[in-house]
Structure 1
Amino acid sequence: MKEKAKSKKKSRIRLLHQYYKYTGFYGFVGSSLKKAVLPIVIFIGALWAVDHFFLNIEDMLVHITETYQPAKVLAIFLLSESLLGLVPPELFIAWAGKSAAPFLFLTLLASMSYLGGVISYGIGLSVTKIPSVRLLMEVKLAKHIHNTRKWGGFLIIVGALLPIPFAITSIAAGIIRFPFSSYLIFALLRFARFYLYALVIFKMV
């Protein structure tokens, strides 16, 4: 009986593997990783250049932490994460690294990003009730909606981990009415992304 259950499980995994292989999911992930490397390299290079030739990044971040209330910075970040990821999260991670409690503020940033994704999901869900807006969004986000329908939770995982606008993936998930409870679970990987990036960024700044 146990062997039969294991056999069924292996068959299911094999079928899933074949499906994602044939539909181009692995190629999509590989392409996304390649695209993700360039922005990271550019960001690190820009930080180094600014720090060495224009101004002291560490002093600037310390100045920001001393000048602006954390609540305002977190509110700006939440707004950004809810509206197509307007500002790179890496800048806010660097800010957290110079705060009085780096791990606490990093966790708050990750929480804001997670909440921003939930808000984006809600936006996607809401536009489905307005035909004209839904049509516009389906045209603008056609590729993301198509991929979300095709790959579901795995695409949400990729969006949560890789440096691509998580809000777009979340809006697409809302538009296709992806199960909300499953979305909440997959989106938790957003925390892993922030902690992993912090390992590098905190050492840089």
Structure 2
Amino acid sequence: MSRVKKPKYKLLHQYYKYTGFYSFIWQGVKGAILPTAIIVAILFYVNYKVINLNDAIVYITQNFSDFFIFGVFLASESVLGLIPPDIFIAWTKNTDSPLLYLSILAILSYLGGVIAYFMGMAIAAIPSINHYLYGKMTKHIINMQKWGGFLIAVGALLPLPFAIACLAAGMINYSRKHFFLFALLRFFRFIIYGFVIYSALS
């Protein structure tokens, strides 16, 4: 008597459960809750007790060009996500067209991930650099090999190192088509965080 073949979604569920993917997500979510709460709390406190953030953001807007701020943001999103994007989201609140500027940030963040991906591919072609970074990013690369696009999705949606996930994807030559699709989830992060931060600054 032949065994009933399990549906693909059940096999995937079993695989992700055994390889620790769900545990990884839960740890990421738990790790994200506190920093996010702290950022929002700081925004509230500074806005009402220290200095009006709207005035501070207006000062930044008046003294730095949009092109410069967008350039700094793109550079940050391309190289390990050095500056939290939440700071830039707060900046868009006091621009002439907040939703337009927020959309530009989301596009630049996506492009930053694409740049990191191709940087990973370029690094993989240089044995000495690849060997060095592989040693520094072993955990991320192993996770990328196990979970692929789902790890990119987690990095895109949660306050986790999106650029590092993209860099690791490039280093293992992960499918371009699948990478571009999973990375699109980055836009949802800006929609969600834009709503939260705009509410905090209202």
CA drift at 1:130: 1.0
Supply the distance in 1 between the matched residues of 2:50 and 2:199 (Cα, whole angstroms).
20
**Partner SS, residue 154 of structure 2:** helix
Aligned partner of 1:96 among 67, 92, 95:
92
Where do residues 1-205 of structure 1 align in structure 2 (5 Å cutoff)? 11-205=7-201
Supply the distance in 1 between the matched residues of 2:32 and 2:92 (Cα, whole angstroms).
22
CA deviation string 1:39-63 (max 9, x = no partner): 1011112222322332211110122
Supply the distance in 1 between the matched residues of 2:143 and 2:184 (Cα, whole angstroms).
20
Supply the distance in 1 between the matched residues of 2:168 and 2:148 (Cα, whole angstroms).
10
CA drift at 1:97: 1.2
The letter for the 2-side match of 1:176 is: I
CA deviation string 1:104-158 (max 9, x = no partner): 0000000010000001001111111111110111111110000000001111110
Q: Could you tell me the percent identity over the aligned residues?
A: 48
Supply the distance in 2 between the matched residues of 1:136 and 1:83 (Cα, whole angstroms).
17
CA deviation string 1:76-97 (max 9, x = no partner): 0000000100100000001111
Question: What TM-score, normalized to structure 1?
Answer: 0.93
Supply the distance in 2 between the matched residues of 1:140 and 1:57 (Cα, whole angstroms).
38
The letter for the 2-side match of 1:56 is: N
Supply the distance in 1 between the matched residues of 2:9 and 2:43 (Cα, whole angstroms).
43
Supply the distance in 2 between the matched residues of 1:20 and 1:72 (Cα, whole angstroms).
42
Question: What TM-score, normalized to structure 2?
Answer: 0.94
Supply the distance in 1 between the matched residues of 2:38 and 2:136 (Cα, whole angstroms).
27
Matched with 1:4 is none
Supply the distance in 2 between the matched residues of 1:20 and 1:165 (Cα, whole angstroms).
21
Which is further off, 92-101 or 42-51?
Answer: 42-51
Supply the distance in 2 between the matched residues of 1:45 and 1:135 (Cα, whole angstroms).
41
Structure 2 gap ranges (5+): none
Which is further off, 29-38 or 65-74?
Answer: 65-74
CA drift at 1:65: 1.7
CA drift at 1:67: 2.3
